[in-house]
Structure 1
């Protein structure tokens, strides 16, 4: 195996939570305050980190929330939704083989690290990851810094020997342009971006059972 460092997104990449949680949570939050979501809400939020998304919802929907209150409210909303989330096909087998081959792995997600850990602990795969990175603020995935800093924490220096696994086009493109080895994974929430995601991925998979190990 050429690549011994692996950076995984969680939502839509390892878990089926993009539709369940990240399309469901904004709607559930707005419903609490009697607001109706616009038709392009999910697409707009998809390319934002948590902080930017919160500011957008508060501003655009005139929510009676301050930024310091938002996290507690949204945490309650998504915690309930995450209880129904499951792993995508092939994830357990993938992680077990990577560990057996000596790969170092971590999570780099827009979602709060504590929430990621809770979900992946429930699903029985937390043990595979060395650490969790919150891709928010200055470390948003639209900028390559988050991937380089994460690679350094994994103990690597060469992006070409580090795999970034993503379902989101903007994040995959950032990693690709920075020289990382990119694996794109199909997800219903990003179906419209699939042609472009294929272009920036070294491998594009319908699910993890399709991974060609000879190419990583």
Structure 2
């Protein structure tokens, strides 16, 4: 998997940290204030959208009177304590990141989350000392599945797409990596368990957790 890899770029939520569980709760509480029930299609509709894109979507779909900045500020407020105190790293992630650093592989984060929350959880787990760049979808023109965020991360790290390996947990993120002409390893996450077949059809590699890489038990889904 790591052959010819000079740069590894990671999605954050559901990929590096186990955080997807909390967003449904936040969406239910947030929309409940307006007397709106959580639509069944919401998560699929917003998958891959950046923080600002999602705010636009919520404002338009649900007719919210608040400004985009007010909506984003409230989401950050609602999620801050969870990211600071209740969001763990994925199993084996810290060891794997250190292995990459020890082997001279540059590291980037490419997340659809807000910079405030990304930097909070990165600091909590010491990722700010390991990663060379953190890019959010708000830093580029279009969120996932557009390739912009991965190309921006690679550009910041001086890396060619051919030498980049992306780690993602949902189909829109996998497509963003593939659209950037990079190889993609997808990781199991309970939140996207119902998308396993689609994830496997799109990605180059599959892991249950990062210990699969440590022990060589990862799955090769496409020939290099």
Task: Settle same-fold status: TM greater than 0.5.
Answer: yes
Q: Paired residue for 1:100?
A: 102
- 2:123 is matched with which residue? 121
Q: CA deviation at 1:116?
A: 0.8
The answer as to whether partners of 2:50 and 2:143 remain within 8 angstroms in 1 is yes
Residues 71 and 178 (structure 1), Cα distance of their counterparts in 2 relative to 1, 3 Å cut:
closer
CA displacement, residues 16-59 of structure 1 (integer Å, 9 cap, x when unaligned): 11122x22221221233333211222222223222221122223
Residues 82-115 of structure 1: CA deviation (Å, up to 9, x unaligned): 2311111000110110111011001110111231
Q: Is the 8 A contact 2:19 2:87 kept in 1?
A: yes
1:2-17 matches, within 5 Å, as 2-17=4-19
Question: Map of 1:8-27 to 2, 5 A cutoff?
Answer: 8-20=10-22, 22-27=23-28
CA contact (8 A) 2:47 2:172 kept: no
Which residue of structure 2 lines up, in the alignment, with residue 55 of structure 1? Answer: 56
Contact 1:25 1:81 in 2 (8 A): no
- What is the correspondence of 1:1-216 to structure 2 with a 5 Å cutoff? 1-20=3-22, 22-82=23-83, 83-136=85-138, 138-157=141-160, 159-211=161-213, 212=216
Say whether the 8 Å CA contact 1:12–1:187 is kept in structure 2.
Answer: yes
* Alpha-carbon distance in structure 2 between the residues aligned to 1:155 and 1:140: 21
Report the Cα offset of residue 148 of structure 1: 1.8
CA shift, 1:213, in A, is 9.5
Distance 1:43 1:28 in 2: 18
Any stretches of 5+ residues in structure 1 without a counterpart?
A: none
Distance (Å, rounded) in 2 between the aligned partners of 1:106 and 1:59 = 32
1:5: how far off?
Answer: 0.3
TM-score for both structures, normalised by structure 2: 0.87
C-alpha RMSD of matched pairs (Å): 2.1
Structure 2's unaligned 5+ residue stretches are none
